[in-house]
Structure formats: structure tokens, C-alpha cells
Amino acid sequence: MSTGHTHDHDGDDHGHKHPAAPMVEEITDYEILEIAVRELAIERGLFTAEDHRSFTEWAESLGPINGSRLVAKAWTDPAFKARVLQDGVKACKELGLDWTEPTGFGTPSDYTNFVVLEDTPTLHHVIVCTLCSCYPRPILGMSPEWYRTTNYRRRLVRWPREVLTEFGLIVPPEVEIRVEDSNQKCRFMVLPVRPDGTKNWTEEQLAAIVTRDCMIGVALPRPGRTADVHPIHKARRPVESSHHERAAE
Amino acid sequence: MKASKTLKTSDAPARFKVGDRVRVRNMPNMFYTRTQNYVRGAIGTIAVCTYKDLIPEEEAFNYDGRIEQYYIIRFRQKDLWEEYPFDNDTLQTESPEHWLEPA
Amino acid sequence: MSGTSDVDTSPITLLEAVRRQGKEWDVIAPRYGVTNPDPPWKTSLIGMNECLAVGGSLPALDRRRAEDELGKVVYSDVPAPERELLALVHTMLRRGLVTEGELARRMRTVRSRLEAV
């Protein structure tokens, strides 16, 4: 969908009408390119239209909300937390999340070996895939762009504290930082320490402060922090520059 | 949809157990490997026995070959990088058995 | 991480033409007041990546290594996800999974089809 309109009515009967959602009123070469190469690939027998539709629908269904819910539930239910740490895939099923979708065997990138890494006051985990940016997409959705950059992938294993500082996270030296490089078939997520100031919170309130960055390990959850915000990067292509100029290093 | 790979079981017992000290071998890459350069030759301890599966070098060519135990290995960052300044920091990564030898 | 010396990073005429249009999502979406962070074809691209890996035509590790190299050399100033799409097609062309000629022809056909509505 090109529409910028996202609005969840939760079944309520709103009496008002919405203004027409803005749409991108042109068909770009990128859009054409994707369709064209896909059609040719299907005609060449590289894959079927049916399989493509299945994976695309699966991709559309993903987002980090199940990760947040898993953390919130683990924080409030010690028996659930124990099950999470014992078998991540099985615990996800309790939340209605099935790692074997959409094929029955998972996907060729995500597999079915989900491991939750529990932080403690003396142990902080952070996740990377140096080889290719593998990520637990079934529970967290698509990876953020910065996670896929060679900048993050190469530097996090070597300089984790410097990289975390760039995210605004400073970890005391006595706390162990454990980098998890997911180079094979296990997929990981961080179960952060429940922050102070959340006593008697509902699971919903807790889930709201467990953002994607907290589950990768580049941020810590805390009351009032309900979004991942990153520093603004300078314009890739400032207004006056020509399309042919390469970005300055 | 048909999956081309199914997880096979193997009767061969895992060579290593949690807590064992192991060294990552430095083998030549024939074609396709998931063993990073930065762990080669390093010594760590087995943190978790994860699953049994085809080794990636053979799976990449759809070869129904060897099934091995996979492990998560934990390294001290001080053992991976020269002049790493923080004593407590660690790094974990996963490896199939044949990339490991006892240390 | 081992380096990649087997990716042909020389530019491909057809893809350079697409890039010259300059119609990346982060440029055109604001023009129309659309706030969705992703272009409409992004999930379809993800689906295609999975399908190519499942079928063995293009394993994920190969695709990502090529994408890293191409992103560094040829498409460094293209934002994600356009960079990912260009890198994928570039890799498919270099591997002979599709040809530049047929892709150019199909793009013309697709555009006519979509604009005829």
C-alpha cells in the first residue's frame, strides 16, 4: 500500500468519515523493476507465484509487538519466563506466534531455533549477525537499517561499548557485555531487566516501553520511553546536489 | 510449499558438553563457511548445545551429507582482540562440531 | 568477515537508468504527504528474497555478501530499500538468472500495463 493512512478502529463504530488517505500518485521505476524481475523469475521457474504470495503475506504480518508482549509477560509471570528460557519457540506459541510459518518449517533465513537471552543486573546482551544481519523476524519484524550496515556488524563485535554509546547506552565497566553473533541457525532476542518505577504495571503498560531496540540490546527500557529515536543523519542528498554526486565520506 | 531441508537426527553423540574448553580450528575455506575470521584460533567454552543439523558447507550445495552437533561458544573478548580493555566482556557465537577441537 | 572477490560490481546500464530517475521512496513519499516509511513493494522484495533462497537460486548469505559489496562500490548513495532491490537485481543479472534485455522489455510492458488503467 502506498497510503500513509494507518488507523485501527478496533471495531468501534466511528461516525466520522476519514479524509482520503494520501497516495503516491506515480509508478516509479523501482516499483516496475520489482514487478518485472519477479515475473521473469516466476516464468523461469525460480519460484512459484504461490510461494511468493505466501512469503510476502508472512512478511506483511510481522512487527515487534509480539516481542514486547513476550517480555512483558516474562516480567510478570515467572513460570512463563522459565518456559521462555527453556524453549523459545514453544513459548512463542503461547502468544499465538508460530515460528514454523509460512512453510511448516520456518523460512530459509529465520529457521526455528529461537533463544531468548536474559539480562541481569551484571550481564547485558547485545545482538548482531556479522555475516549477513540475521534477525529474529518472526517475533521482531524486519530488522532496522542500521542493524544491516557493515558499520554496525563489523564494529559491534570489536567495540561493543563504543557502539552502544553511539546509541546513547552507557554500560558500567563492571557489567559484563555479552555480544551474541548469530552466525548459524539460532535466532536471538534480549529479555531486558525490568526497570525500576514499573511496580504494579499491567502487561500492556510494560509492553509499551519494550521497544525493538531494547530487544536487540542497544537500548534499555524505562518508564516514559515508548519509541526508538536515533540521531538525525545529515541529508543523503541535500536539496541542491546532483543525483550523480556520490555521498561524501 | 515443499521445504528442501528437514532436520535429521543423528545417533552420533555430541563430542563436547557445556563447560568444555574448545579451540576454533583455522581451516581453509573451501567455498562457503559461516565461521568468522575473528574467532579462528581462539579458545572459548561451550555455553549451550543447540541442535543437530547439516554443516553449512555442505548444505549450501544441497548435499545430504554430514549431520553434526552445533554449539554456542563463549569467548572472553580479551581473548579475541588485542588490548580489549574490559575484563568482564564476552562474546558468543555458534559453531558446528567439526570446526572445534579440545583445548 | 572474509572479503568478497567474486562479485562483479561494474555498473549495469539498465539499473543505472533506474537510479538516475531518482525516485527513491524517501524522496517521493514526502512529496505526496505519505508517511509510510516503506515503499509498497518492500514486502514483495522480502518475499522474493526468501523464495530465491528456498529454491537454491540465490542463498541468503550469497545475496547479502553481494549486497554488502555492491552497496560499498556501486550503490553507496542509494538508500535502503532501493539499494537492496538494485543489489538483488544486479546479482541476479550477473548470475544469469535473468537477462538485461528481457528485463528491460518486461519493464516496458509492465509500465504500459499499469499506466493503461
Bridge partner residues of B90 (DSSP): A178, B76
pLDDT of residue A79: 98
- Active site includes A186? no
Instruction: Out of A129, A143, A241, A242, pick the active-site residue.
Output: A129
| Residue B3 to residue A158, Cβ atoms within 8 A | no
Q: Do B93 and A183 touch (CB under 8 A)?
A: yes
Cell of B40: 579462528
Q: Is the pLDDT of residue B63 over 80?
A: no
Class of A65-216 in CATH: alpha beta
Supply the ipTM of this predicted assembly.
Answer: 0.96
Which residues make up the CATH 3.90.330.10 domain(s) of chain A?
Answer: 65-216
The domains of chain C are located at 13-115
Of A3, A108, A154, the CB nearest to C50: A108
Residue keyed to cell 533462497: C53
Identity of residue A199: K
Judging contacts by C-beta atoms under 8 Å, the chain C residues touching residue B34 are 61
Instruction: Say which residue the cell 499465538 belongs to.
Output: A96
Measure Cα distances from A187 to A89, A107, A140, B72 in Å: 10, 12, 11, 12
pLDDT in tens, A56-83: 999 999 999 999 999 999 999 999 999 9
DSSP one-letter code for A149: S
C-alpha cell at A84: 521462555
DSSP per-residue codes, chain B = ---S--PPP--SPPS--TT-EEEE--PPP-S-----GGGTT-EEEEEEEEEEEE-HHHHTTT----EEEEEEEEEEHHHHSTT---TT-EEEEEEEGGGEEE-
Domain boundaries, chain B: 21-102
Average pLDDT over chain C reads 92
For B46, B70, C65, the CA distances from B96, given in Å and listed in that order, are 12, 4, 21
Q: Is A233 exposed, middle or buried (0-12, 13-18, 19+ CB in 10 A)?
A: exposed
Q: Tell me whether residues B4 and C59 touch, CB distance under 8 A.
A: no
- pTM value is 0.87
Q: Are B31 and B4 in contact (CB under 8 A)?
A: no
Burial of residue C109 (number of CB atoms within 10 Å: 0-12, 13-18, 19+): middle
pLDDT digits (tens, 9 = 90+) for C30-65: 999 999 999 999 999 999 999 999 989 999 999 999
Architecture of domain B21-102: Roll (2.30)
| A203 HSE (CA, 13 A, CB side) | 15
